[in-house]
Chain A
Amino acid sequence: MSGSDNRGSELELRGISKSYRRGRDRTLVLNDVSLTVRAGEFVSLIGPSGSGKSTLFRMVGGVEKPDQGRVLIDGEDRTGHKGLISYMPQQAALFPWLKVEDNIRFALVSTGTPKREAKEQAAQWLERIQLGHVAKEYPHVLSGGMQQRISFLRALLMRRSVMCLDEPFAALDALTRADMQRWLLELWEADRRSVLFVTHSIEEALVLSDRIYVLSPAPATVLRELVVPFERPRRADVWTSTEFVELKQEVLRLLEAGHSGTV
């Protein structure tokens, strides 16, 4: 029931390494990172801040090229190709000079949706997520939570088969955050696009994902891949189960071990 024609593509990162030059030294940021998001799967990347998660995203988006390794979409090498993913950043990144509906419309048009369809979709979906009344407002009058909803909607409606969400709720307060997670799950479970989700909140990763990759501190490498066993659609009180608590502890141990390993 979304704007996309396909349900999702498989995204695979193979042996991605990247280093940056700082003065005379080269600092390794990503060290042989490999991961897969299968078609229609929700996968989270979790790791300490500064572990190169955003750099990894830039590789997926084609904004930067890895020193080594490849980005594959549906098995084809797409390393360094732009315009293949939809993206939701940490800050809502709404354009202040465009009204809410125009923000959505322009993003859809620039990613290949015909003009008239983009307009209809923006109006329809804003109504559906109960934000129809702010369609003609400028973004600065909206609360942080509302802005993020619009930012997510914009990413969801793009005709792209892989969605990348970069810590989208990090700047929100705890209540709004829990609310947004439920809201996102509801929309995503009806759509089942392939999602790569970056977060540093363990609970958030466990509530939302099918699988989790735990990253080490920089230079980042995959410490562990975890399968989240809870059924879909996910219950709102999933975080109260003992299994949830055990998984959370396991991730926490991994992050701590990874941390002390580098000291």
Chain B
Amino acid sequence: MAFAIEEYTLPAPSDIAVKMYEDSAVLWTHVRATFGLALVGLALGTAVGIAVAVLLHIVPPFKTALSPLLVLSQNVPLIALGPLLIIWFGFGTTPKLILLVLVCFFPVALSILVGLGQAEPHLREYLGMIGASRWERLKRLEFPASLTYLFSGLRIAATYVVSSAIVAEWLGAGANTGIGFYLKLKFSGFQQAAVFGSIVCIVVMSLLFFYMVVLAERLVIRWRPRPEPEWKEASS
């Protein structure tokens, strides 16, 4: 021990691996709980984000009136809001989901709102000339055109959803499930190997969420030309 680093300051990777193996059954239940919470939160947040963006888009006065409120919703810190939500909604999943929806809806709503206004002018003109209704314009032009924007917002939301779920679990003292709860427990017990173990779980889950969105984007947006293969490959 040349640097005399104790296990409770910085555990060796091998200690972390051993600890994760020992705790694997418990970890697995907590990972599943956190994963489920994050997934439902992301789905609900996306749905709310789409709904808010479409509403603000089709009623322009709302857009001017409510846009500052959207930003405001992101300025209240989670650690202030969490305990309040627990007081109002109890120790169930409701306050956690509300927190996640608040985190996820914002990037989604903001990016779609930009996308809805960006639809190609000549397609807009075409729909006007053939007398398409407002609903058709939204359904056939504005919404599909904003899908690429939706996915870039969704990537941001997916990046933050797991760590936000951890914060929510950390705060929601009553419900004793989730990696956030496990993390809190191990932290109080100075079991740093387990703390690092939960960080590994969180990072892996976050990556998983991110690539799920990338995959979904690839499945949904099929109309864009694929990049041409490189010339190098063709000549060899």
Contacts and interface: CB of A to CB of B under 8 A. Distances in A.
Contact of A93 (B126, B136, B221, B224): B126
A110 B128 contact: no
A138 B133 CA distance: 24
Most buried by A among B125, B130, B141, B145: B130
A230 interface: no
B223 A96 contact: yes
A62 B131 contact: yes
A245 interface: no
Interface in B127-148: 128-133, 136, 140-141, 144-145, 147
A61 B140 CA distance: 20
Contacts of A97: 144-145, 147, 221, 223
Nearest to B131: A83
A140 B225 contact: yes
A86 B122 CA distance: 15
Nearest to B147: A97
Given A83-B131, A140-B223, A158-B130, A106 B122 contact: no
Contact of B130 (A86, A95, A141): A86
Contacts of A96: 223-224
Given A97-B223, A138-B223, A110 B130 contact: yes
Interface in A176-190: none
B126 A89 contact: yes
Contacts, number: 60
A158 B130 CA distance: 9
A82 interface: yes
B232 interface: no
Contacts of B140: 95, 98, 106, 110
B131 to A, nearest CB: 2
Interface in A113-134: none
Nearest to B145: A97
A254 interface: no
Nearest to A64: B128
Contacts of A110: 130, 132-133, 136, 140
A89 B130 CA distance: 11
A111 interface: yes
Given A95-B141, A138-B223, A140-B223, A82 B122 contact: no
17 contacts: A61-B129, A63-B125, A83-B131, A85-B129, A87-B126, A87-B129, A93-B122, A93-B125, A93-B126, A95-B140, A97-B144, A97-B147, A110-B130, A110-B132, A138-B222, A140-B224, A158-B130
Given A61-B130, A93-B123, A107-B130, 7 more contacts: A85-B129, A85-B130, A95-B140, A97-B145, A97-B147, A138-B223, A140-B225
Interface of B: 122-123, 125-126, 128-133, 136, 140-141, 144-145, 147, 221-225
Smallest CB-CB A-B distances: 4 pairs: A83-B131, A82-B131, A61-B129, A93-B126
Interface of A: 57-58, 61-63, 82-87, 89, 91, 93, 95-98, 106-107, 110-111, 138, 140-141, 158, 164
